[in-house]
């Protein structure tokens, strides 16, 4: 079910159509949400101040959707639990220590 949903999204990514427009809008919201969370984390002292919120929003969404794309392209080769556990640990370390 999840794979079929992403298939529809990826097949409609280009061009000028309602699905592509909705996808662009959704992804802009995802990036903005992540940037806002990072900004709040910096203000609260939970995230290192060397992290650029907007850049991290792009990075994080690319990371997550890249993993999903890899799973979509070759599901038997991707252990999602292991990959996302690794990603969470790496992300946590990066956000706390900075760059």
Q: Where are the domains positioned within the chain?
A: 2-97
> What's the pLDDT score for residue 12?
66
> What's the pLDDT score for residue 45?
94
Burial of 7 (0-12, 13-18, 19+ CB in 10 A): exposed
Question: Tens of pLDDT along 19-68?
Answer: 778 888 999 999 999 999 999 999 999 999 999 999 999 999 999 989 98
For residue 45, how far is the Cα from the chain centroid?
22
Question: Would you say the pTM of this structure is higher than 0.85?
Answer: no
Question: Tens of pLDDT along 69-89?
Answer: 898 889 999 999 999 999 999
What is the phi-psi region of residue 52: left when phi exceeds 0, alpha when psi lies from -120 to 50, beta otherwise? beta
> What's the pLDDT score for residue 99?
72
Number of H helices, E strands in the chain: 4, 0
Residue 12 dihedral angles phi and psi, to the nearest 5°: -110, 15
């Amino acid at each position: 079910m999840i794979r079929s949903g992403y298939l529809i999204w990826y097949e409609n990514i280009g061009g000028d159509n309602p699905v592509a427009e909705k996808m662009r809008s959704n992804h802009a919201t995802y990036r903005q949400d992540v940037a806002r969370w990072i900004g709040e984390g910096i203000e609260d002292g939970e995230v290192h101040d060397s992290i650029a919120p907007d850049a991290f929003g792009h990075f994080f969404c690319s990371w997550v959707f890249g993993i999903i794309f890899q799973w979509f392209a070759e599901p038997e080769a991707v252990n999602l639990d292991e990959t996302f556990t690794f990603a969470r640990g790496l992300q946590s370390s990066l956000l706390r220590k900075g760059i």
